[in-house]
Chain A
Amino acid sequence: MMLRSSLFNSTLSLGLLLVIWQLASLSINSPALPSPILVLSTLNQAIQSAELLHHLGITLLRLATSFFLAMILGTAIGLILGRHHKLNTFFDSWLIILLNIPALVTIILCYIWFGLIETAAILAVVINKLPNVIVTIREGARNLDDPLIEMAKAYHFGRYKTLVHVILPQLYPYIMASARTGLALIWKIILVVEMLGRSDGMGYQIHLFFQLFDIASIMAYTVSFIVIIQLIETALLKPLDKKTQRWK
């Protein structure tokens, strides 16, 4: 009952948005705001020509690579900083600097230092995301339950067992939070990275359409990307959440 009414509500709300969009484009009647119908047919064409899927695939691959790199590195560093007070105070200023460098600056510097190559693109995204992960995980690591860690020590769990069975389950809400915000942040940055220094991917395509003033295509690509990100959320993150929280 709850599920059906919420589904009904979101359909109604999306439908209203489409109607407003359609009415607005009709009243403006300019190529600057194509109607949703035109956007959907452009999307359909782009899918048929396989062009969209090619660029979408490449962008998703970059997204996955940089996402996992940032998450793994960030979790490790955040855990260390959260558990070692002295290291944390020493490196805190580094973190603040990293947090405050504009994304555009890291992207440009990476391209200048390493050239217009794939590694530079991935590195730029990772550097942008990393400090956010570190800060979130560090907060989690500070709130770890010390009596449980002491228990693990008393029973000689060893490093691996302590990490997997004692520490990571406690960090889980923090990992999930930074994964969610991370996904949103990374896919916004990755388009800029592609626009500035790659010759494929969604960012490159959108830049191309911008030069051609092809607004319907820009919107069609955007719609496809939003759908994909939502799919990742509902098909991957939410079930994962449920599975690991079942003990509650």
Chain B
Amino acid sequence: MHPIVVDIKKKNFTSNSSDRIFTAIENLKFELLENEFTCIIGPSGCGKTTLLNAIAGLDNDFDGSINIKKTNPSELHSSYVFQTPRLLPWRTVMENIQLAAGDNHSVPFIINTLQHLGLGNNMNSYPHHLSLGMQRRVAIARAFSVQSRLLLMDEPFVSLDPSTAKKARELLLNLWREQPRNILFVTHDLNEAFELADRILFLSDSPSHVIADVQITSPRPERTPQFLDNFKNQLSIKQPHIHQFL
């Protein structure tokens, strides 16, 4: 049995102005293995955020089921890194994290997580004193500080400049190696996905479903630009229907 099974038969939106029904997701199904870093790639507007909201339990208005097996009762199903940091501006970095983590994690654990993300000196700062890149890392620290089965990340590094984003990805991988989790990472940047993932799920246009499920087994340090070019070439030969992404 897989610990995490996502099976959405249908997710509709009705617009307020007319009676038109828009189907965002149809027959989207996948399972996650233990402590796997999975990236989701899809065209913009294909319902990636809708999918994460459904998995996070923020939107229960769909046909289908999300099954996340919990190993202990105090842990949450999921923690969520949104596209924007979504920190409470009137609380410090530490307070923001403690509010989300509840009593489950001790202060030393949170401090350790913050230090891993290069935020050791900013624990008592208010969010607007930090750069956007740092705020995004605080959001990641918050997600890791919460005990949860699945970490959802919705383009957490979008609108960062390339070098800041690269650094943030390295810090994320370091933290993940120390505190392994199931991660579901949505991105529209294929290179980002190749850099991070054990596995990439390609989604179709809406109504979206999984059109390709690609494993990347080679270790991350070996994923040089040249290796990725080869990988993409092979992929476009083996799976010509995802050519548009490559």
Residues of A within 8 A of B (CB): 147-148, 150-151, 153-157, 161, 165-166, 169, 244, 247
- The residue on B at minimum CB distance from A172 is B90
Q: A150-B58, A154-B58, A155-B79 are in contact. Are A169 and B100 (CB under 8 A)?
A: no
Among B57, B79, B100, B126, find the residue whose CB has the most chain A CB atoms closer than 10 A: B100
B79-117: CB near A (< 8 Å → 1, else 0) gives: 110101010111100000001101000000000000000
Q: A147-B84, A150-B58 are in contact. Are A156 and B89 (CB under 8 A)?
A: no
Residue B146 at the A interface, CB < 8 A? Answer: yes
Residue B51 at the A interface, CB < 8 A? Answer: no
Q: Which A residues lie within 8 Å of B86 (CB)?
A: 147-148, 150-151
The main secondary structure of chain A at its interface with chain B is helix
Task: State how many angstroms separate the Cβ of A180 from the closest Cβ of chain B.
Answer: 20
- The residue on B at minimum CB distance from A153 is B58
Residue B56 at the A interface, CB < 8 A? Answer: yes
Residue B76 at the A interface, CB < 8 A? Answer: yes
Among A151, A165, A169, find the residue whose CB has the most chain B CB atoms closer than 10 A: A151
Task: State how many angstroms separate the Cβ of B142 from the closest Cβ of chain A.
Answer: 8
- Bound complex: CA A172 to CA B17 (Å): 34
Q: Is the CB of B88 within 8 A of A165?
A: yes
Q: Is the CB of B90 within 8 A of A161?
A: no
Q: Is the CB of A147 within 8 A of B76?
A: no
- The residue on B at minimum CB distance from A164 is B99
Q: Is the CB of A156 within 8 A of B76?
A: yes
Q: Which A residues lie within 8 Å of B89 (CB)?
A: 247
Q: Is the CB of A169 within 8 A of B90?
A: yes
- Bound complex: CA A157 to CA B128 (Å): 22
- The residue on A at minimum CB distance from B148 is A155
- The residue on B at minimum CB distance from A166 is B88
Q: Which A residues lie within 8 Å of B142 (CB)?
A: 155
- Bound complex: CA A158 to CA B208 (Å): 32
